Structure 1
Amino acid sequence: MIRRTISRPVRAAAALGVVALVAAGCTSNTPEAADTTSSDSQRAGSSNDDPGDKVTIGFSGPAADHGWLGAINSAAQAEAKKFSDVEFKAAEGTNDASQQIAQVETFINDKVDAIVLLPTDGAALTEVATKAMNAGIIVVNVDREFSTPFAARTTILGDNYGMGVSAGTYACKLVKDKNLTNPVIAEIAGIDALPLTQDRSKGFADALKGCNQTVDNRVAAEFTVESGEKVASNLLQAAPKIDIIWNHDDDQGVGVMAAFDNAKRNEFAFIGGAGSANAMRWIKEGKMEATVLYPPTQAADGVRLARLLAQDKSMSDLVQVAVPRRIVLDAPVVTKDNVEEYLPLGFES
């Protein structure tokens, strides 16, 4: 997944964040997205990073009480600083939907050019986001979708189902490569009530069907270190033999790894999720098999696209040059073979 202009190898990944995104949504019935005039074609030949008209972008996201969310916020701010033509107004992170609605209202009153919004609750923020759009302000929705497409010009999403598919596909590869007979496969999920957890689990189960495997042991944590250690300890007690474990979240993975160490269990291949710096260091050290990225750069991508949209620019790498209305980022597997490429994107838990 991901994308940002950090180093040359990561720049290659960054290209996916703007090009591979497109497969998810470069067609639309709206005149805005369907317009491919000659002026668009001319703009497509220019460098989108060249300074343009000054634009003001408001950003609102949840409180950074989780390593991934902290990375989301810092990456957005860092991206905005790269552009001399962007005035970036970041609201204080909050998990209170009412407070976030008030932040968006302030952006509307300030007449910003665009708003990049990772809502605490997509449904709760839909009405005020629609109000911003109706006021002529471009809204870029990040990670948690609004209830209607009219609330945003563009939506940028991680691929939760795709994370599960990537993890399951890699697990199948391990089964084949290690010539495992009747392997025991375990899963440490996040909060089961959340659709994102359900999507990840479904993708994992669907991919395992490709090699005639199923999840033998499953527990659910709460995306925290403490819960990760607790449920992993319970899992290890219940399953004296495990061949492969997929943990949905690398932040809770700190606790999961602690449980492994306490139990002195390391006979299994450990696959993580999200792409923390801890996980990538463990991969380099041989303590972890792989992790599946859930890009912490979604809001940074949102800033880049909000700037393009506010400056009436297009995406020069596309044939259909208009900025897509819906973008789903990739969920690549990071292993010892490519960890150096993705390490600059790893977030601290």
Structure 2
Amino acid sequence: MRTRSTARTVIAALAGVLLAGGMVACGNSDTGGGSGGDDKIVLGFSQVGAESGWRTANTTSIKEAAGEAGIELKFDDAQQKQENQIKAIRNFIQQKVDVIAFSPVVESGWDTVLKEAKDAKIPVILTDRAVDSADKSLYKTFLGSDFKKEGRLAGEWLVEQKKSASGPVNIVELQGTTGSAPANDRKEGFAGAIAANPNLKIIASQSGDFTRAGGKQVMEQFLKANPKIDVLFAHNDDMGLGALEAITAAGKVPGKDITIITVDAVKDGMQALADGKFNFIAECSPLLGPQLMDLVKKVKAGEEVPARIETEETTFTQEQAKEALPNRKY
């Protein structure tokens, strides 16, 4: 009887150990790679702001893609101020996030804070906008558009349209945020392209800060100062849409009296193009979220990624806009 009793005691004890071991294993499985687990990637993202329809669509894409990828997103809105982005990046470093991504407000002035991230061994991904740092080791990759190409495509279209013009063609330019990569590059690309036709002259160029209100205000100034304006090149749709209001208020017909070229191809801009108020749009896609999350996973895993990854984009005329609008996602 003692032998049987002892055997039962040993079996019960072994069963208890196995059960406990099983419970520990299940506990580890739940925390590893699941919601709130230690293995979940944490991404700190600093956004420029919410200055345009493009930026709103970009933010939505990033938030939705993070959720779908199972990545914990710490999101910060810099409200178009570089000092806010630098503060956010330092906060991400203190929080020991796994990866930092941001869309720089301007191109210069990032080396110090990016060096801090590098010293903390936190990889950085640039999205949408680049920086002008000579030290390329401060970030892993850039994901976004070729802004110079967008400006060049806009200029090449205008050169083709005005190839038979015998006299001067007066152009005004609504620039993006001063010092930002898209403003610098779109201006350079456009200017380089229109140099092919000496009749095309930029008679005024000023920043509208990528906002609809800024586009309207600056266009009002252009119209008062320049009685003859033939073409408007706006660095984004929102400034172009603001300019429409000013042009209409001045008694001119947008798209006819003044040829309007913009960049982005958000829904409101595409509608203006379909309606004949805009004449041409070079696309700049904001839907970077899925590509960004894929890059986040790769750099966290220590994989090599290309130094620059460009999004595929196109251009639109009025008829092409009409065709694309019903299925437009942004």
Q: Could you tell me which of 299, 308, 317 is aligned with 1:326?
A: 308
Larger Rg: 2
Matched-pair contact (CA < 8 Å) for 2:282–2:316? yes
Note the 1:5-24 alignment, pairs <5 A: none
Q: Which moved more, 1:238-247 or 1:257-266?
A: 238-247
Alpha-carbon spacing, 1:70–1:326, altered in 2? closer, same or farther (3 Å): same
Tell me which residue corresponds to 1:344. Answer: 328
Matched-pair contact (CA < 8 Å) for 1:97–1:125? no
Kindly provide the amino acid, as one letter, of the partner of residue 281 in structure 1.
Q
Q: Could you tell me which of 121, 138, 142 is aligned with 1:155?
A: 142
Tell me which residue corresponds to 1:71. Answer: 57
Q: Which moved more, 1:111-120 or 1:296-305?
A: 296-305
**Distance in 1, Cα, partners of 2:232 & 2:144:** 26
Kindly provide the amino acid, as one letter, of the partner of residue 214 in structure 1.
L
**Distance in 2, Cα, partners of 1:227 & 1:135:** 39
Does residue 192 of structure 2 align to residue 206 of structure 1? yes
Alpha-carbon spacing, 1:211–1:76, altered in 2? closer, same or farther (3 Å): same
Matched-pair contact (CA < 8 Å) for 2:105–2:180? no
Matched-pair contact (CA < 8 Å) for 1:166–1:332? no
Tell me which residue corresponds to 1:296. Answer: 286
TM-score (norm 1): 0.69
Kindly provide the amino acid, as one letter, of the partner of residue 89 in structure 1.
K
**Distance in 2, Cα, partners of 1:198 & 1:102:** 25
Provide the secondary structure at the position in 2 that maps to 1:91.
strand
Tell me which residue corresponds to 1:231. Answer: 218
**Distance in 1, Cα, partners of 2:81 & 2:172:** 31
Tell me which residue corresponds to 1:114. Answer: 99
Provide the secondary structure at the position in 1 that maps to 2:232.
strand
Provide the secondary structure at the position in 1 that maps to 2:114.
helix
Instruction: Kindly provide the CA deviation profile for residues 276-316 of structure 1, in whole angstroms up to 9, marking residues without a partner as x.
Output: 32211111122211222333335664333212332456xxx
Shift of 1:208: 1.3
**Distance in 2, Cα, partners of 1:112 & 1:168:** 42
Tell me which residue corresponds to 2:264. Answer: 274
Shift of 1:134: 3.3
Alpha-carbon spacing, 1:215–1:297, altered in 2? closer, same or farther (3 Å): farther
Higher relative contact order (CA 8 A, sep 6+): 1
Matched-pair contact (CA < 8 Å) for 1:175–1:183? no
**Distance in 1, Cα, partners of 2:184 & 2:92:** 34
RMSD: 3.0
Provide the secondary structure at the position in 1 that maps to 2:195.
helix
Note the 1:240-255 alignment, pairs <5 A: 240-255=227-242
Does residue 166 of structure 2 align to residue 181 of structure 1? yes
TM-score (norm 2): 0.73
Note the 1:16-165 alignment, pairs <5 A: 54-83=40-69, 85-142=70-127, 143-145=129-131, 147=133, 148-165=135-152
Provide the secondary structure at the position in 1 that maps to 2:101.
strand
Tell me which residue corresponds to 1:39. Answer: none
Alpha-carbon spacing, 1:109–1:191, altered in 2? closer, same or farther (3 Å): closer
Alpha-carbon spacing, 1:325–1:251, altered in 2? closer, same or farther (3 Å): same
Provide the secondary structure at the position in 2 that maps to 1:210.
coil
Shift of 1:238: 4.9
Matched-pair contact (CA < 8 Å) for 1:115–1:138? yes
Shift of 1:247: 1.8
Tell me which residue corresponds to 2:23. Answer: none
Query: How many residue pairs end up in the alignment?
Result: 283
**Distance in 2, Cα, partners of 1:140 & 1:230:** 35
Provide the secondary structure at the position in 1 that maps to 2:328.
helix
Does residue 149 of structure 2 align to residue 167 of structure 1? no
Does residue 252 of structure 2 align to residue 265 of structure 1? yes
Provide the secondary structure at the position in 2 that maps to 1:323.
coil
Kindly provide the amino acid, as one letter, of the partner of residue 279 in structure 1.
G
Structure 1, unaligned runs of 5 or more: 1-52, 314-321
Matched-pair contact (CA < 8 Å) for 1:183–1:242? no
Instruction: Kindly provide the CA deviation profile for residues 96-138 of structure 1, in whole angstroms up to 9, marking residues without a partner as x.
Output: 5444334333333443321112234554443233332333322
**Distance in 1, Cα, partners of 2:96 & 2:213:** 43
Shift of 1:242: 4.3
Provide the secondary structure at the position in 2 that maps to 1:265.
coil
Instruction: Kindly provide the CA deviation profile for residues 250-295 of structure 1, in whole angstroms up to 9, marking residues without a partner as x.
Output: 2222220001211232223211123332211111122211222333
Tell me which residue corresponds to 2:3. Answer: none
Structure 2, unaligned runs of 5 or more: 1-38
Provide the secondary structure at the position in 1 that maps to 2:318.
coil
Matched-pair contact (CA < 8 Å) for 2:47–2:59? yes
Instruction: Kindly provide the CA deviation profile for residues 188-221 of structure 1, in whole angstroms up to 9, marking residues without a partner as x.
Output: 2225843643432232121112344422532324
**Distance in 2, Cα, partners of 1:227 & 1:295:** 22
